[in-house]
Structure 1
Amino acid sequence: MSKNNLNKQQKIIECLIFANDGPLPARKIIQIIGQGTEKQIQEQVGVINSKYTKADIPYEIIEVAGGYQMVSKPDYSDWITKLYASRSTSRLTQRALETLAIIAYKQPITKQEMESIRGVNVDGVIRTLIERNLITVTGREKAPGNPLLYGTTKFFLEYFGLNSLEDMPQLKEIDELLKSDEKFLESLDQVSLQQMLPEDLGIASMIKDKTTKKDNSAETEENIHQDKQAADAIQTDENEMTENTDDAS
């Protein structure tokens, strides 16, 4: 392919990704332009992103939910947050977040299994998560009563900035995730990474408090270290003055 044709193809790919409402799969791009492979599309996107970086463009193309999507860079998240600050958003409760984590790591999973792990009824939480399009019914378990099985949706991946479920933090047991709120928040820090807005999840203040405490602790230790150095310096000066006085005598 000539250089001119290659540049034109890159512009077409860029335009398609920009115009699409959500993540655009590579196979769809290939279908539209009528040529190429998924690996070639990935390489073209890499070239486009390199141009963005070189020109200091405030947005980029990422792989998310099995496709490509144009997003603003994390450095500009504060301004994006202010843009949407006036929009009223209903936050997910801690119960909903914990149940969502169980489904994400244990899917496909029945309601009874969720309740066995959490120890409480999850009917209302399941309805909320389905309404948010974060989970869906994936089938029925071959067991007495044929209970419904639940799993996460493509929007779940898009919302948390994941390309696939394999990108989630690797945890041996979901039970360990739920032992304390702090551990759960740490796992969310790993998951959110690029796209998740903590304000939407109702955990921004908790994360901020946790970070502030760590910063204050580090600052206190530094101050103690500096005070000790100053005290040592004063003691050294006093010793030298005493020695000089003795010599003079």
Structure 2
Amino acid sequence: MDNTYISVIEALIFAADDPLPSKEIINAIKEIDGPDIEITEEDIEKTVDDLNEKYKQNGNAFVILKIANGYIYATRPEHAKYVGYLSTEKSKRRLSQAALETLAIIAYKQPITKPEIELIRGVNSDYTLNTLLEKNLITIQGRADTIGRPLLYVTTDEFLKYFGLRNISDLPKPREIEEIMKDEDFQEQKRRIMMNEVEENLEEETNSENESDVDNESPFE
């Protein structure tokens, strides 16, 4: 591969809003410079490795990650707590405890049916599944060969992107999850999320009460 394409690959990944697959990088280059250009997926991977090594040596705050079968820029893990402090997730991106529980079950047991999910959780999961489908974190992958032929649910590439995973095999093992749960930074983030949820619930209750007061006011007073 011509070394002049190193910066081209860097630019394409930088400009992408979503993880950019190697095939799309190759297609873009060949569409512009001709189909005879010799460049492979291995060339892309080596270029990304070389760029990351350069970023590391220069002390840059970012790296190129391979997640959801593509490449994307991200800040270094050691800066996560600082970036996280400044960034506040919008409500549409925030997942409730019920949604996280359901998503975890699907991620580890997929493909899985709604009855199986509800058997594990012990509660109805209609609303939670609809929420996860709307957020494109899960999708339907056919039907099970059982009585009633219930729908089968699996995670999506958006799920991988949301949690910063290269593929589903990168999910933490049960023992790793226990270690994460004990981590002080995790406990602090959990506390903040719970406080945010409490504040949101209080705000919703206050708004509901105000709306109720307005509805109950007599138009003749």
Same fold (TM over 0.5): yes
Q: Specify the alignment match of 1:186 in structure 2.
A: 178
Q: What amino acid is the match of 2:72?
A: Q
Aligned with residue 28 of structure 2, among 3, 25, 32? 32
Aligned-pair distance for 1:93?
2.3
Q: Specify the alignment match of 2:9 in structure 1.
A: 13
TM-score, normalised relative to structure 2: 0.73
Larger Rg belongs to: 1
2:133 partner SS = helix
Partner of 2:211: none
Counterpart amino acid of residue 114 in structure 1 = I
Task: List alignment gaps of at least 5 residues for structure 2.
Answer: 31-37, 194-221
CA deviations 1:62-113 (Å, max 9, x no partner) are 110111101111232234224423x643532222211111100111111011
Structure 1 residues 152 and 189: CA distance shift in structure 2, 3 A: farther
Q: 1:16 to 1:158 in 2, by over 3 A?
A: same
- The one-letter code matched in structure 1 to 2:153 is Y
Change (3 A) 1:184 1:127: farther
Per-residue CA shift, 1:13-54, capped at 9, x if unaligned?
Answer: 000000011100111112222332222211110111111111
TM-score, with normalisation over the residues of structure 1? 0.65
Work out the number of aligned pairs and report it: 183
Uncovered stretches (5+) of structure 1, i.e. residues with no partner: 172-182, 191-197, 208-249
2:66 to 60, 63, 79: 63
Counterpart CA distance in 2 for 1:206 and 1:115 is: 29
How high is the sequence identity, in percent, across the aligned residues?
A: 44
- The 3-state SS of whatever aligns with 2:83 is helix
Cα distance in 1 for partners of 2:85, 2:189 equals 17
Matches within 5 A, 1:95-110: 95-110=98-113
Asked whether 1:89 is paired with 2:56, we answer: no
- How far off its partner does 1:203 sit? 5.7
Say which SS state the counterpart of residue 139 (structure 1) adopts: strand
Contact 1:169 1:187 in 2 (8 A): no
Quote the offset at 1:145 in angstroms. 2.1
1:238 alignment counterpart: none
